[in-house]
Chains A and B, each alone.
Chain A
C-alpha cells in the first residue's frame, strides 16, 4: 500500500463549482499536513498548512484533516479558471520539511 494516495484526475468542473480534493494515507504518525498548488511549468507553492485534525479556512480554501480515517481534503469554493492547476498533498510526522511525503497530485481544470 502506498503511503499517500491521491487521484491524479483530471477533475473538470465549471466556474463557480465547489471542488473537493482528497488524499488518504497509511502512516498514522503523520501529523503535519499541507496542500501545494502547482501551475503548469511552475514549481509548487504552499497553499494550506494544518497540524493534526480539524479544519483550517483561508478565503475560498478550506483544509480538513480526519486523522481517525487517515483522510485529508481541500475544498475550494466558488472555483475560478485561475484555480486550474495540479494540487499536491504532502504530509510529515514532524515539522521538518525534509521528511515530507507527497501525493502524486490531482489536476484540476475549471472551465469558464
Chain B
C-alpha cells in the first residue's frame, strides 16, 4: 500500500465512450501526476498538478482532460479515445513538485476497443 489509490484498476471502453479515472493520495502531498505506461515504451509524463494548479501538460491530446479539485484527488477524464490509447495509466504524488520521492499508485489498465 503506497498511499496512492487508483480506481478503476481495469477499464474497457469503446471509442465513443466517456469515462474517468480517479486517483486519491493519503500522504498529504502537494503535487500529483498522471503518467502513461505503454508496452515497450518508457513512462510518459502527461500532466502535473501542484497545489491544484496544472503546471505541466506534455502535449497530450485534448481527448484526455485532467481535473484536480483538491490536493488529494486527481481525475483523468477520457472521451473519444483511440485504440493506441490503450495503456496503463499511473497516478503519482510527491511532497512538492520540485523535490521528494514520487509515490505511484497501482495504475488503471485501459483497453480501448
Contact = CB atoms under 8 A, between A and B. Distances in A.
Interface of A: 4, 8, 41-46, 49, 88, 90, 95-98, 100-105
Given A43-B90, A88-B43, A104-B40, A95 B99 contact: yes
27 contacts: A8-B40, A41-B106, A42-B107, A43-B90, A43-B104, A43-B105, A43-B106, A44-B43, A45-B103, A46-B101, A46-B102, A49-B101, A96-B97, A96-B98, A96-B99, A97-B100, A97-B101, A97-B102, A98-B31, A98-B33, A98-B45, A98-B56, A98-B97, A102-B42, A102-B43, A103-B42, A104-B40
Contacts of B56: 98
B2 interface: yes
Interface of B: 2, 4, 31, 33, 40-43, 45, 48, 55-56, 90, 92, 94, 97-107
Contacts of B100: 97
Contacts of A8: 40
Given A98-B97, A101-B42, 13 more contacts: A42-B106, A43-B4, A43-B90, A43-B106, A44-B90, A49-B101, A95-B98, A96-B98, A97-B97, A97-B98, A100-B43, A103-B42, A104-B41
A97 B94 contact: yes
Contacts of B45: 98, 100
A100 B92 CA distance: 13
A98 B55 contact: yes
A56 to B, nearest CB: 15
A52 to B, nearest CB: 16
A43 B6 CA distance: 10
A8 B39 CA distance: 10
B97 A4 contact: no
Nearest to A98: B48
Contacts of B103: 45
A28 to B, nearest CB: 19
Nearest to B109: A41
